[in-house]
């Protein structure tokens, strides 16, 4: 039994809230703060104009000595360059935080001008970047530092000559990210990007609901009657999870909210079951070779059917939205209409947003990972994902631009910036120094869950790519609705993969 104080829960990645007005011209020159704040309000000097910390990659240092730029194998000063940095942080606090980082970098490198352009996640991923990358060599419209999500998508960009191999130029920075975390941005042992945040799938839980069912011991309530601390016996395997659900149902509390109306939140239940059912070798073969011949893939469907047999989901799960509004899955957990939701590290922020604009992340939320399925080889596997950045290949811009973008990425990944990122944005960092010193209990639990995993697998839709992910998610939803079978789902995967 462990005591939990649930404060300052993580924020999700910014997505879905800003429309086409944020589709800036990628070739624009000059520094625009996009409405972001000029300073960082974390209270630790994050907004200062210069950064003189050059020890161990913790900052760029001043740029007057002609030495090596921290975190890189580049020598200062950088060649003068105008570069564009495109990211998906359209909302505060991430939007202002990234602008502050750019301002600090420019102060350290006076010859470099950084234009920062926040773009809504789906618009960036589906429209802006694909359009920008269809350019002739030397075209100025492609962004120099751009959002990347790893997996098959990044492999395509590398094969097309869009993403730059940063293995050598950023070797010191790459060494400060653990192998399981950076693996999603590596292709054939070469690094084509780096994640700045990385977090696991798991359950976001309303402690008030658990307390109403008698599942929180020694609960301490705040002035509003919300649980702010206490002790919970978290399930150590899936049978324990089923017992927790039964206790909640006995108290007329919906155990689980699922936003199946958005398709992917329901599909995540099979993702999670497969992660815990399959061995690392089977998961690797599926990701690399689209080989679904291991019996574990059918067994994952059997596990999902057992989950469905416990009737723990909201009755309207097939039409409920994932994150938008009080009646979404996120909104129901935030309000206590349901006890928990299986989702990504952004769940706490989604729950706050679902119940009110600019609402604080509720302090009565807790997080724990999807439990093992006894007797299956995936006991110590975990599914996780993150957001990262890649650098434009110099053949599509110039060497000066790519060098400057790489140096900016090194600064983003430095000890000091990553520590401030975790404190300000409330998402887990990937820099090992920052990760080892997290004060937020939920972030620390998430970071520990990944660090202790034997094998880390990306979100399955990222791992397999759109060609497989679209029919896969549809087949999973049909299975959950009683319209399919475990073997049929595997057959769908094979057909989509061309097997």
- The pLDDT of residue 34 is above 90: no
- Confidence band of 38 (pLDDT split at 50, 70, 90): very low
pLDDT at residue 153, as a whole number:
84
pLDDT at residue 325, as a whole number:
86
- Confidence band of 359 (pLDDT split at 50, 70, 90): low
- The pLDDT of residue 23 is above 70: no
Exposure b/e, 476-485, CB count within 10 A at least 16 = b:
bbebbeeebb
Average confidence (pLDDT) over 355-367 = 78
pLDDT at residue 159, as a whole number:
92
pLDDT at residue 51, as a whole number:
37
410 and 170 Cβ atoms separated by less than 8 Å: yes
| pLDDT tens track for 306-344 | 999 999 999 999 999 998 889 999 999 999 999 999 999
Tell me the residue ranges of DSSP E strands in 420-482: 455-457
pLDDT at residue 136, as a whole number:
53
Minimum mean pLDDT range among 128-132, 329-333, 418-422: 128-132
| Domains delineated in the chain | 2-200+386-450 (3.40.190.10), 202-383+456-496 (3.40.190.10)
Average confidence (pLDDT) over 384-393 = 95
- Beta pairing class for 338-343 and 254-256: parallel
pLDDT at residue 39, as a whole number:
30
| pLDDT tens track for 205-261 | 999 999 999 999 999 999 999 999 999 999 999 999 999 999 999 999 999 999 999
Average confidence (pLDDT) over 275-294 = 95
pLDDT at residue 135, as a whole number:
56
| pLDDT tens track for 454-470 | 899 999 988 888 789 99
Average confidence (pLDDT) over 25-40 = 32
| pLDDT tens track for 41-53 | 333 333 333 333 3
Cα–Cα distance, 219 to 335 (Å, whole number):
19
Exposure b/e, 287-299, CB count within 10 A at least 16 = b:
beebbbebebbbb
Cα separations in angstroms, 470 against 4, 465, 497: 38, 9, 11
pLDDT at residue 22, as a whole number:
31
Beta-carbon count within 10 A of 19 CB: 10
Which two tokens mark 31? 């520094």
- Confidence band of 139 (pLDDT split at 50, 70, 90): low
Q: Does 92 or 442 have the greater pLDDT score?
A: 442
């Amino acid at each position: 039994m462990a005591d939990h104080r649930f404060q300052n829960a993580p924020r999700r990645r910014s997505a879905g809230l800003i429309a086409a007005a944020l589709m800036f011209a990628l070739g624009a020159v000059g520094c625009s703060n996009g409405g972001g704040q000029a300073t960082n309000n974390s209270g630790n000097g994050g907004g200062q104009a210069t950064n003189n910390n050059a020890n161990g990659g913790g900052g760029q240092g001043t740029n007057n000595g002609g030495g090596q730029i921290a975190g890189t194998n580049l020598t200062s000063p950088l060649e003068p360059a105008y570069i564009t940095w495109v990211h998906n942080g359209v909302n505060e606090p991430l939007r202002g935080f990234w602008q502050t980082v750019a301002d600090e970098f420019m102060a350290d490198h006076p010859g470099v001008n950084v234009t920062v352009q926040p773009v809504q996640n789906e618009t960036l991923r589906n429209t802006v970047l694909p359009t920008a990358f269809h350019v002739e060599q030397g075209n100025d419209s492609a962004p120099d530092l751009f959002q990347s999500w790893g997996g098959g998508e990044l492999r395509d960009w590398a094969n097309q000559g869009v993403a730059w191999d940063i293995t050598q130029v950023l070797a010191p920075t790459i060494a400060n990210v653990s192998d399981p975390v950076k693996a999603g941005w590596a292709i054939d042992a070469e690094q084509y990007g780096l994640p700045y945040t990385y977090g696991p799938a798991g359950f976001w839980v309303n402690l008030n609901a658990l307390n109403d069912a008698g599942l929180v011991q020694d609960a301490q309530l705040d002035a509003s009657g919300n649980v702010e601390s206490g002790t919970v016996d978290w399930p150590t395997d899936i049978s324990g999870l089923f017992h927790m659900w039964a206790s909640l149902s006995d108290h007329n509390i919906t155990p689980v909210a699922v936003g199946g109306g958005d398709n992917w939140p329901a599909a995540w239940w099979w993702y999670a079951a497969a992660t815990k059912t399959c061995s690392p070798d089977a998961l690797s073969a599926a990701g690399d070779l689209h080989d679904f011949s291991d019996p574990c893939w059918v067994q994952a469907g059997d596990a999902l059917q057992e989950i469905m047999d416990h009737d723990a989901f909201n009755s309207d799960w097939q039409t409920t939205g994932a994150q938008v509004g009080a009646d979404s899955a996120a909104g129901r957990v935030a309000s206590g209409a349901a006890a928990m939701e299986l989702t990504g590290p952004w769940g706490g922020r989604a729950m706050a947003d679902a119940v009110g604009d600019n609402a604080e992340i509720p302090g009565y939320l807790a997080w724990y990972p999807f439990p093992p399925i006894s007797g299956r080889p995936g006991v110590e596997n975990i599914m996780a994902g993150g957001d990262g950045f890649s650098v434009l290949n110099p053949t599509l811009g110039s060497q000066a631009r790519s060098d400057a973008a790489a140096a900016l990425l090194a600064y983003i990944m430095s000890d000091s910036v990553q520590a401030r990122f975790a404190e300000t944005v409330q998402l887990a960092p990937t820099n090992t120094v920052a990760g080892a010193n997290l004060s937020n209990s939920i972030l620390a639990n998430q970071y520990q869950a990944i660090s202790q995993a034997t094998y880390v697998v990306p979100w399955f839709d990222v791992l397999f790519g759109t060609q497989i992910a679209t029919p896969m998610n549809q087949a999973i939803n049909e299975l959950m609705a009683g319209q399919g079978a475990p073997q049929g789902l595997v057959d769908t995967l094979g057909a989509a993969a061309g097997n």
